[in-house]
Amino acid sequence: MQRHARAFWVREPGVGEIRDLALTEPRPHDVVVRTVRSAVSRGTESLVFGGHVPASQHDAMRAPFQDGDFPGPVKYGYLSVGLVEEGPDPLLGRHVFCLHPHQTAYVVPAAAVTPVPEGVPVARAVLAGMVETAVNALWDAPPLVGDRIVVVGAGVLGCTVARLASRVPRTSVTLVDVDPSRAPVAAALGVDFSLPEDAEAGADLVLHTSATSAGLQRSLDLLAAEGTVLELSWYGDAPTTVSLGGSFHSGRLTLRASQVGRVAPARRDRRTTAQRLALALDLLHDDAFDCLLTGESPFESLPEVMPRLVSGALPALCHAVTYEEVAACSA
């Protein structure tokens, strides 16, 4: 019995397609996973779909189970939840999260999947990759008790960071975005909301996720003396401009990058990437994250849906991809 699957590929910048493929025969320590749900990481996947990965970053930006190369054809993605249909007994029949592209079924090493904890809905579990990025960011620049924290950019990553930061005792967290419709989302997450021009300066820590020069500039402007801007955005090949006059030097401000590819230095000797991902899934017991799940489309529609997500014609925070209930093994 040959195992077959279907996968979403970026054929060329701006053009997606569904391809048939034959799955490899599982080895003793592999799992066969039937995908139940995946999600589009709008920031990074938009840049990949548009062909905006700089040539110097082609190797650094490879996803764990990516096929092909940038700018295309390439199979890319990393937010997938599925059901283990074959594999070691402890995983058999369990829902698992995997950093895998959009594909109806796949065969990967058992060590590459993380069980979804009891009590975490499958629909929410697709956020694990985003929560993992937020955890790493807060290891890079940990908020302190009582801090005034601002998150600039109310996309799904910014919202996730804001929610986690707000759990630190006595912190004051404000989510800043140009879109006033994000105010109810901030309220659902238990944080304040402000438009950029109305945000109050003097923050101890600013986390920037908008991937715009204006957002980065506003982040620096909102800092208190000797405060830190943690940059979580990835700009691809887009030029970025920022003014480092004003209070940047006199205020001894810090601009620091955070990236999820490696565990943050503060925890690198004591946490593995697997432990970090398991922590992210455990944090998804929090039902406040459900407000970030704002739409879904069938897998087969991805070639039409992806351009609309990238252009903003289909607004969404986390847009989910649904899959038909079919077995991973088919003749």
Task: Spell out the per-residue pLDDT of the chain, length 331, in tens.
Answer: 678 999 999 999 999 999 999 999 999 999 999 999 999 988 889 999 999 999 999 998 999 999 999 999 999 999 999 999 999 999 999 999 999 999 999 999 999 999 999 999 999 999 999 999 999 999 999 999 999 999 999 999 999 999 999 999 999 999 999 999 999 999 999 999 999 999 999 999 999 999 999 999 999 999 999 999 999 998 988 899 999 988 899 999 999 999 999 999 999 999 999 999 999 999 999 999 999 999 999 999 999 999 999 998 998 899 999 998 654 444 3
| Residue-averaged pLDDT of the chain | 95
pLDDT in tens, 73-96: 999 999 999 999 999 999 999 999
Structural domains of the chain ordered from first start: 4-127+284-322 (3.90.180.10), 130-257 (3.40.50.720)
Cα dist from 239 to 62, 80, 158, 244, 282, whole Å: 21, 31, 21, 16, 37
Query: What tokens were used for 51?
Result: 């062909």
| Assessment of whether the complete model's pTM goes beyond 0.85 | yes
Query: What tokens were used for 111?
Result: 């060590």
Interatomic CA distance for residues 83 and 196, integer angstroms: 42
Q: Which helix (H) or strand (E) holds 273?
A: helix 273-283
Cα dist from 303 to 12, 13, 137, whole Å: 12, 12, 32
